[in-house]
Structures are given as C-alpha cells and as structure tokens.
Amino acid sequence: MSIAICPGSFDPITLGHLNIIRRTSKIFDRVVVCVMHNSTKPSPMFTVEEKLDMVRRSVSRYPNVEVDTYDGLLAEYAKRYEGAVLVKGLRAASDFEYEFQMNLINKQINPQLETMFLTADGKYTFLSSSVVREMAFYGADLKGLVPNEIIDDIEKKAKLWRGRDGK
C-alpha cells in the first residue's frame, strides 16, 4: 500500500493545501495529513486542536485521507509509516529553495525518506495561510480562499484578534 504524508502548519488550511491533498489522494492509497509546528512561525492564529478540527472537516469527503498531529521532527514522524513519501506543494521558486533545504535536512535524519513535489494549481499560486490571516483580520471575504466549512471559524477568530488589537 502506498502512503503519502502531507505535512504543514495549516494556520489555517487553504484551498491551495486542499488541492494538493486531493491530488495526492488520487496518486497514493493512503494519505496522512499531519498538522505540525513550524518554529519559524511562532505565533499561530489557531491552536493545534482548532487546526486539527478544521483540517478534519475540510478533508472529510476523501475516504483515503486521515488527519494526525505530531510535535517533533517530521523525518522522525515519517518512520511510523514504512515506505511513506512526503508530498508537498510548490508555488514558486522561493518555495523550492526552502523545500530543497528541508528535504536535505529530512534526509540527514531519515535517509530512507523521499519527498515529492506537486506544482500548485495556477489559481492558487498567490494563496498562503498568511494571506488568509491578513484578509480575515481586515474582514475581507474568504470565499474561494479556504474551504467553506471553516470560513466561520476563521471569521470568529479574526473578530477576537481585532478586538485584542482594539480595531
């Protein structure tokens, strides 16, 4: 059975992420979406539990996709699934530089681990979780950016953030 791991910080999950997950689910028998911590992004908008809940609701229509979380190194986590391949999306050359470095680090830790990249769908190359957070903060319409199932969650959290910042 072929297994893919789609890791990310998903703060929050976007339609760009979901597009990569859906396409991965057509190529692999089993897909594990893993919600992880990115130490270069220290102040997440959502807690791990909130992210897990939003990712679960977003992928519920895909029967071979499951959701997990891990607080540690991705290359260590991947050892749980024999032969698993990491699958990540690439939007631009800047993504490639970062992902190439991550791939080398992951290989140092777990030499068996392979990473495959899917190029982002053209209509999502501009999209990132940080764009969504910014749009939400200013009360913009989130339709077409994130799964419909989680728009309310983001709007509620953005309202709290605006209140905190006195806006």
**Residues near ligand PNS, by CB under 6 A:** 7-9, 36-38, 41, 73-75, 102, 105
Q: Coil, helix or strand for 96?
A: helix
CB of residue 34 to ligand PNS, shortest distance in Å: 8
- Output 7 or 147, the one with its CB closest to ligand PNS: 7
Q: Is 152 buried (19+), middle (13-18) or exposed (0-12) by CB count in 10 A?
A: exposed
CB 9 within 8 A of CB 36: yes
Q: Where are the beta strands (DSSP E) in 9-77?
A: 30-36, 65-70
Check if 37 is active-site.
Answer: no
CB of residue 160 to ligand PNS, shortest distance in Å: 22
Question: How far apart (Å, rounded) are the C-alpha atoms in residues 24 and 149?
Answer: 21
Which member of 25, 129, 133, 157 is catalytic? 129
Measured CA to CA in angstroms, residue 127 lies from 13, 35, 71, 72 at distances of 11, 18, 25, 26
- Output 75 or 127, the one with its CB closest to ligand PNS: 75
Closest CA to 145 of 8, 46, 22, 19: 19
- Output 37 or 162, the one with its CB closest to ligand PNS: 37
- Output 3 or 73, the one with its CB closest to ligand PNS: 73
Check if 56 is active-site.
Answer: no
CB of residue 132 to ligand PNS, shortest distance in Å: 12
CB of residue 149 to ligand PNS, shortest distance in Å: 19
Q: What is the DSSP letter of 122?
A: G
Query: Any idea which residues carry the catalytic annotation?
Result: 17, 41, 91, 129
